[in-house]
Structure 1
Amino acid sequence: MTFSADTRADLDRFWSTLETSAQIGVGRPGGLSRLTLSDDDRQMRDVFTGWCRDAGLSVEVDELGSIFARRDGTDNSLPPILIGSHLDTQINGGRFDGIAGVLAGLEVVRSLNDAGHVTRRPIVVVDWTNEEGARFSPPMVASGCFVGKYAVDWVKDLIGDDGARFGDELARIGYDGSRPCKAGEIDAYYELHIEQGPILDAEKRQVGVVTGGYPSHGMRVQFSGQTAHTGPTPMDLRHNALIAGARFLTAVDDIGWDFAVGDGKATGSRLAAWPNKPGILSDSAQAIADVRHPDPVTARVMAEKMRRAVFESAAKAGCTAVIEDEWFWGGDIFDAEMVAGIRDEAKRMGYDWRDIQSQAGHDAYFLATHCPTAMIFTPCEGGITHNNAENCGPDDFLAGLNILLHAVVARADR
């Protein structure tokens, strides 16, 4: 067998890897709760690296635990093609978010092995650590560090809600690797992902060609107040950080409604206070929020309103506020040539496709700041995601998997 225009990935083999993954870190019925650097994460990593070695790939782990499984090319002096996503899940996650992208990369190299085809450039399949940020906030820290957004030590010092330190957990599960968390020269990065939205499913499309992402602004805010008794303390003498955080998050939600007609969205995703007990006012609270909109100017307006809400909310509650971290992703960040290549493959193979924007955050956003990058979306039932009811069938991946295979080979052989 040789690689040709008619070569197709082995859908049944790909689906079997997804089914194996679905048994590791089971959460609510039908879903997963495989938080990063947990014992379940270690088990999945062990299974994945075993599959990679069985496929003849050399495996390296970097300083933040991201896994790089390399298939050599005929000219290893050339920069590699990376295919990646993540194997960690949300606390109430589904079986496909991120996972499908990593295992699609594995299926690409398995299909090349079947065809006996060695690409000119090396191909590297990547599992990025902590994409979700469900245990250690913010999300996507490993890919962010990889491209220079974060420092390794800063990431390793992150503390989860369970009190665990990122670096300690990395060492505990045995994935504190020696490869530097530094990108180096990369020819291109591809990421296949379920849409996490309802458009492809509603339109009965087989695949989405991702042209960019909704410009998104987010922040983590620390509110500081003072503990006091909830009974005798007069209202004008209270400094309740919990209320400051709550005011901020409701203000952010209002921003979302103000811009909802143009498909703007605003989310208050986290409020953690201390002591957070009856009878006592909280002296600290951490809040996380974000805004996003398809128009970049409008997204910036929403972000400025969110920033103002931080300090207005703190003042109303008699507290102070510090914006501890801010992030931005999205926009027209994907490589036009790669996007066109994906679109051309969809047309050539006769799949029902459409251009689409991503509305969620992905590791691809960080990679796009460093090298040519593109994404492929596959449909998911009703767009339900970050939920145990997230659902796809094998045929939902047929088009995306084969387009990924041929787009990667075309890029790697040039």
Structure 2
Amino acid sequence: MTASDTPRAPLRVDRERLWRNLMRLKEIGGYDDTATGLRGVRRLALTDEDAQARRLVVTWMEEAGLRVRVDRIGNVYGERPGEDPALPCVLVGSHIDTVATGGAFDGTLGVLGGIEVVRALDAAGIRTRRPVEVGFFTEEEGVRFGTDMLGSAVTAGRIDLAHAYALTDAAGATVRDELVRIGFDGSAPEVRPVPHAYVECHIEQGPILAAAGVDIGIVTGVQAISWQRLTLHGEAAHAGTTPIEARADAGLAAAEVVVEIRRMCDSGTFGRLRGTVGTLALSPAQTNVIPAGAVLTVDLRNPDDALMAAAEAHLAAFVDGLHDRHGVSATWERMARTAVVPFDDGIQDVIAASADALGLPYVRAMSGAGHDAQEIAATCPTAMVFVAGEHGGISHTPREYSRPEACGNGVDVLANAVLTLAGPVVTA
């Protein structure tokens, strides 16, 4: 009897095990955050903590019966075979690295949720025509090596492996050396076989779902993202004896850049632009010395490619003008740049049908954050399931929190979407 001959109850995952494993993984890299008084997670890519978390997740993959492989950029995949091994797989996944002040859900929900999808298929005795793979990608956050979505960008072919290997952290360690050091320099080709489809479950990291009073979001795409490092070159001088009009103050110039980025966002000229200076370092960093240099990172986001380009051009012209006003010159370094990525309408519809079958209301929304899905979307039909967060969906902080029920609902939607895409064959 084929599964399509009789009505099938929606697939549901083991919510208690999902939550238990989320909380267990949280403790790898866990720290007590003095700013919030909460337990946070600091698990930067390719650190010892990341290595420990990777080994635990690989263990869970193997316990779920998955055949695990590691590619040359350290991406990890676990495969559940399909009835027809010649068919491309349905891929699910996300990442397990965090920012320096992270929470328990960003990325990890999609990876551990993917494992639970496989376990739910096994528990229901369901075989699928297509293989199902669960993966996690290297350095999604970009915090340590300066390029976000690194592993997924390499496997999608946007970033060359040699370039990725040569990226360094603040201490000069390379991606290649750190992969070798932690034992995740795999042998599988970094450009993976093209999947039939990719679906990623992720916390929203924003307020849209909470405002709508729903747990589930269907993601329509990811907005454009621009990361640049700006270095301002002034001149050091004595803080007490140098007249104000004679200064080339890189610190003052940096402050003007920060304020101008906020003014750009508030102006409306560049649409729904969001801009952030996330790091700013002055040198020589002495109380009584005028700063000779300033290095700051600029993160711009925009759901409109043309308005993003206009914002970048405006900011570049503003920085050029710092020389005439303050005698400060500038150099730019491009860290990352991605255009708006629309997700596949057909995959979105599959996700919507899964939510409907489970009786879960949803909204459609564009993602303000970057995700591995935007890279994989260049290779195959892709979409995402969002899960609502508490506290306005705040993320990248120990305050990040999604309720167990919301997490379970999101992974249930993921499971049924995967089953539809992979094609149920026989129910025991």
TM-score under structure 2 length normalisation? 0.89
Post-superposition Cα deviations, 1:61-110, rounded to whole Å, max 9, x if no partner, equal 22222211112211121222211111011111111011101111111111
TM alignment of 1:64-103, pairs within 5 A: 64-103=73-112
* Match of residue 291 from structure 1: 300
Question: Which of the residues 40, 64, 67 maps onto 1:58?
Answer: 67
2:268 maps to amino acid: F
Alignment of 1:23 with 2:33, yes or no, is: no
Check 1:275–1:221 CA distance in 2 against 1; reply closer, same or farther (3 A cut). same
RMSD: 2.4
* Match of residue 12 from structure 2: 8
Question: What is the CA-CA distance between 1:296 and the residue it aligns to?
Answer: 4.0
Post-superposition Cα deviations, 1:133-189, rounded to whole Å, max 9, x if no partner, equal 222212212211222222222222222234433322222211122222213322111
CA contact (8 A) 2:203 2:388 kept: yes
* Match of residue 370 from structure 2: 361
Q: Distance in 2 between matches of 1:157 and 1:234?
A: 44
* Match of residue 252 from structure 1: 261
CA contact (8 A) 2:146 2:335 kept: no
Q: Distance in 2 between matches of 1:91 and 1:297?
A: 32
Q: Distance in 1 between matches of 2:242 and 2:340?
A: 48
Q: Secondary structure at the match of 1:186?
A: coil
Check 1:155–1:277 CA distance in 2 against 1; reply closer, same or farther (3 A cut). farther
Post-superposition Cα deviations, 1:14-33, rounded to whole Å, max 9, x if no partner, equal 11110111111112222211
CA contact (8 A) 2:44 2:144 kept: yes
Alignment of 1:335 with 2:344, yes or no, is: yes
CA contact (8 A) 2:322 2:329 kept: no
Question: What is the CA-CA distance between 1:193 and the residue it aligns to?
Answer: 0.5
Check 1:121–1:228 CA distance in 2 against 1; reply closer, same or farther (3 A cut). farther
Question: What is the CA-CA distance between 1:284 and the residue it aligns to?
Answer: 4.5
* Match of residue 405 from structure 1: 415
Alignment of 1:177 with 2:190, yes or no, is: no
2:49 maps to amino acid: D
* Match of residue 36 from structure 1: 45
Question: What is the CA-CA distance between 1:127 and the residue it aligns to?
Answer: 1.0
1:407 maps to amino acid: A
Tell which has more relative contact order, 1 or 2 (C-alpha 8 A, sep 6+). 2
Q: Distance in 1 between matches of 2:269 and 2:190?
A: 39
Q: Distance in 1 between matches of 2:266 and 2:251?
A: 23
* Match of residue 145 from structure 1: 154
Question: What is the CA-CA distance between 1:410 and the residue it aligns to?
Answer: 0.9
2:423 maps to amino acid: D
Question: Which of the residues 375, 394, 397 maps onto 1:384?
Answer: 394
Check 1:11–1:189 CA distance in 2 against 1; reply closer, same or farther (3 A cut). same
Question: What is the CA-CA distance between 1:283 and the residue it aligns to?
Answer: 4.8
- Structure 1, 51-60 or 144-153: larger mean CA deviation: 144-153
Report % sequence identity: 36
Question: What is the CA-CA distance between 1:261 and the residue it aligns to?
Answer: 10
TM-score under structure 1 length normalisation? 0.91
Check 1:326–1:164 CA distance in 2 against 1; reply closer, same or farther (3 A cut). closer
1:14 maps to amino acid: L
- Structure 1, 260-269 or 31-40: larger mean CA deviation: 260-269
Q: Distance in 2 between matches of 1:276 and 1:152?
A: 36
Question: What is the CA-CA distance between 1:7 and the residue it aligns to?
Answer: 2.5
Check 1:178–1:317 CA distance in 2 against 1; reply closer, same or farther (3 A cut). farther
2:17 maps to amino acid: R
Gaps of 5+ in 2: none
CA contact (8 A) 1:249 1:287 kept: no
2:409 maps to amino acid: A
2:39 maps to amino acid: G
Question: What is the CA-CA distance between 1:338 and the residue it aligns to?
Answer: 0.3
Q: Distance in 2 between matches of 1:310 and 1:93?
A: 32
Question: Which of the residues 401, 404, 409 maps onto 1:394?
Answer: 404
Q: Secondary structure at the match of 1:211?
A: strand
- Structure 1, 245-254 or 23-32: larger mean CA deviation: 245-254
Q: Distance in 2 between matches of 1:26 and 1:358?
A: 27
- Structure 1, 187-196 or 132-141: larger mean CA deviation: 132-141
* Match of residue 277 from structure 1: 286
2:98 maps to amino acid: T
Gaps of 5+ in 1: none
